[in-house]
Structure 1
């Protein structure tokens, strides 16, 4: 049953550092507001975005930056607060406006705006835009989730990760937008910290980073601005609301808690700057405003009774990698006290399993969950920056959903720049044991550049790990369609990212049936040649 809309809307507009007041009176129309003329250039060069939808609300985002690549990270904005008007409508022409108001864009928050709305009707497609003085933003499409008691619905969810600006064109983002998702999940490595030519691909990078390696708040703000000027990324943000979590490159390669990749005496200062810039540039709720040295990013959203979306943070609370970051034989990875989530987040997640009444429980997280063993003998060589480096933690989470009777657990993963599909086990050393869940791993948007359908280096993994059902080394994303009875996943790939505007193709498709853990391949177009 759809709940009636509330008679009044509570407008909550958050900026980094505090609460901004909403306009007390209804605006006569965003196009009719008198401009002051103070902002001579278009400040909406970074586009618009929305995120974290609930059944009655959503976050609207923009950031003012008429000179987005300014080295001081201020985007060419004056050192003063700017009033930003916003509108929400039933249609893209804004002939049926349902809400409007004013927010304040403060210089201390890089002139970012987070408009946090509630009191909206469930399961509703909406359009939004902003105005700053005489300048009008692009239009974005967003939506609310279904009513919490609604089961007979559908969710088109696309997920992606690892967009290295230098390694190629962001065409996959545009193709994702063209697939008309209800929701986009970004699983980390939204931007990369490297300075120009520090992270190169064979044949040379396609584009260059501006500025130095990101260390200061100004560095991170400039880098996010460079990424957000990309029109393909802007198209994806404008197409649907996003759920975002970070991985390592939003801060520093392979960081773990308060430990950087390499010794850095000021790493906590760097991490604090990275956290602040992440909030400023993402459509996140006020619950994720950085506090002290930390930032609350793990959270749970509901899509009616169809799905719970558990968004995890596998970086901020993890123990350091026990044997370095690469592929190792590492007995210490088995130590029972080690955790990739931290005890508090583990308990929160397992409690969520026990409380779940959803048909599907989706874990949006960063690093490979299933076991990957590269040793051809009785030993194990595994990746220590993934869940294989935290074996007891993985077992606690897997046993947690089994013990709670979670109906359909599915792990959604990024990070590894390859597409994979896996059956999940309680005992990976015995391939005859039943599957207890599934993992879908998206490839990168661009990271590592043009790929190929196969990679001889990974054939050992497929041979040693029969629970891994699919592998591909092209760039792209995963598009899922979720109904009460079935989850369908299409692995969408591009032939190359070294050229812009390439066509998208479905490389393979898998289905997960209700109450039937494990993957069923439904389509494979075969290898070229």
Structure 2
């Protein structure tokens, strides 16, 4: 086994810079530069727990504050997280509310008509958190569906549907999930979410790129609106906290995305575009001062937490946020949700496709950082689940670009961190995992891979499977067979499925096998495209490898 790195390049910057990002609300800039200080005023993060002195009577809210819908996430056996955000005017910098706290009532019921309410309460929407609400409802029954809603003054939110997980010791027979990723608003409509909302699912796993930092034109980019115009402040890259908050307001106002959140609980993790393209740890994409990027990262992380159904342990502290976490679904499945952005080494040879070499193959390189890697491997040692799922961001399997000796690999994926990948696979073997399934996003295509003990030897043992969810919209319409289809399928015999349309993948886990259905829409540059199944595969429990269903 390749030795585990004991320190991560993601922790090399001075404590003063991290402190500056963590304490912007106190205006304690310490050693940050003048440019970073100016950015800090724009970010304006409060200290955790800070509350506004003013209180707004919710009865005075004159227009619907639930324009961004509702959501739920991270189901536990006895609890679930409920989310909403008050935003009467989500395209405005103040969301249409004064800087005052608002009382919000919530209730959760066995039935959609709320005649059998099991829990209710009141929480506060703080302006410091952009009037977002995160309610951790406890004391629920395990393994059942619930309905929930919020009230603010006379306004009632849409009804959401969620569920709790089975008890850790429960012998659960089946779990059906969907995996999604990469939803560039400017590349097209979120039509796939409309279809996903109608699916019979237990949970949706979002694998990253929930939003993009790039400018969105007045006509919505490829959406090419003819009936409305977006405000000019969307036509710039996101930098400040206000920028990121406004961008979430745009994305989360999409009716198809709102429908999906209302229909199913989500488990979320990020990739790069929620902050900046291809950043690595504390290293930005472009040549900007490190303190400036940390401030940007703090703003992005703060807005991410505010707008996602995440629990209190995931609330960020300045430029740091503990997003990796573990969930269970009875004895059937264990989910180890990874963060492969915040702690990784900088990409070798740049962040594109490159010929591998000593820099990329350095054993000290890490995708996860040493602490997260140890957390994962220790958790696998304790796992008693039939299926061990690894939701994460970037392609895990080897992916050569051409079937020739001069092939290149993506330095942004695990191919740019082969020693880190080897440690993960060695750890799975040491833990005795028989059914490892990696869930991946990022690349805007659907892949199905067999994970090999030795990717350079097609005859080597298959040790797991990787299911790559295509994008919701990123990459525009796509094609069933992208231009590199022949090269990739020939160069990588462990690649069992490849499709370049938009959509999502559903995975049905049973005690004997898992089934993956790759579902696609014909177009996203025009709304309302139908859904079809591009491919279906199964992998048997105890016998990893994908076979046509």
1:118 is the counterpart of 2:145 = no
- For 1:161 and 1:152, locate their aligned partners in 2 and report how far apart those are by CA, in whole Å: 27
| Conserved 8 A contact 1:167-1:206 | no
1:480 is the counterpart of 2:507 = yes
Q: Deviations over 1:199-228 (max 9, x none)?
A: x98xx5546782421100000000001001
CA RMSD for the aligned pairs?
1.8
- For 1:456 and 1:380, locate their aligned partners in 2 and report how far apart those are by CA, in whole Å: 17
- For 1:16 and 1:402, locate their aligned partners in 2 and report how far apart those are by CA, in whole Å: 43
Return closer, same or farther for 1:471/1:246 CA change in 2, 3 Å cut-off: same
- For 2:235 and 2:87, locate their aligned partners in 1 and report how far apart those are by CA, in whole Å: 17
Q: Deviations over 1:49-89 (max 9, x none)?
A: 0000001100000000000000x2x2111111100000000
Return closer, same or farther for 1:175/1:36 CA change in 2, 3 Å cut-off: closer
Match of 1:177 in 2: 197
| Conserved 8 A contact 1:46-1:63 | yes
- The counterpart of 1:55, out of the listed 77, 80, 104, is 77
Match of 2:49 in 1: 18
Once the two structures are TM-superposed, the CA of residue 179 in structure 1 deviates from its matched residue by 1.0
Q: Give TM-score scaled by structure 1 length.
A: 0.90
Match of 2:215 in 1: 195
Once the two structures are TM-superposed, the CA of residue 501 in structure 1 deviates from its matched residue by 1.6
- For 2:482 and 2:475, locate their aligned partners in 1 and report how far apart those are by CA, in whole Å: 13
Match of 1:130 in 2: 150
Return closer, same or farther for 1:378/1:211 CA change in 2, 3 Å cut-off: closer
- For 1:40 and 1:185, locate their aligned partners in 2 and report how far apart those are by CA, in whole Å: 35
1:283 is the counterpart of 2:312 = no
Match of 1:272 in 2: 298
Once the two structures are TM-superposed, the CA of residue 452 in structure 1 deviates from its matched residue by 1.2
The DSSP-based 3-state class of the residue aligned with 1:333 is coil
Alignment of 1:177-256 (within 5 A): 177-196=197-216, 206=224, 210-256=234-280
Return closer, same or farther for 1:16/1:140 CA change in 2, 3 Å cut-off: farther
1:319 is the counterpart of 2:345 = yes
Deviates more, 1:307-316 or 1:398-407: 398-407
The DSSP-based 3-state class of the residue aligned with 1:315 is coil
Once the two structures are TM-superposed, the CA of residue 36 in structure 1 deviates from its matched residue by 5.3
| Conserved 8 A contact 2:223-2:526 | no
| Conserved 8 A contact 2:58-2:103 | no
- The counterpart of 1:37, out of the listed 35, 59, 68, is 59
Match of 1:167 in 2: 187
- The counterpart of 1:439, out of the listed 448, 461, 466, is 466
Once the two structures are TM-superposed, the CA of residue 375 in structure 1 deviates from its matched residue by 4.0
Deviates more, 1:418-427 or 1:497-506: 497-506
| Conserved 8 A contact 1:211-1:219 | no
Once the two structures are TM-superposed, the CA of residue 19 in structure 1 deviates from its matched residue by 9.4
Alignment of 1:121-520 (within 5 A): 121-196=141-216, 206=224, 210-265=234-289, 266-331=292-357, 332-520=359-547
Query: How many matched pairs?
Result: 490
Deviates more, 1:120-129 or 1:370-379: 370-379
Once the two structures are TM-superposed, the CA of residue 18 in structure 1 deviates from its matched residue by 3.1
- For 1:380 and 1:116, locate their aligned partners in 2 and report how far apart those are by CA, in whole Å: 49
The DSSP-based 3-state class of the residue aligned with 1:335 is coil
- For 1:143 and 1:423, locate their aligned partners in 2 and report how far apart those are by CA, in whole Å: 32
- For 1:376 and 1:506, locate their aligned partners in 2 and report how far apart those are by CA, in whole Å: 29
Once the two structures are TM-superposed, the CA of residue 16 in structure 1 deviates from its matched residue by 8.8
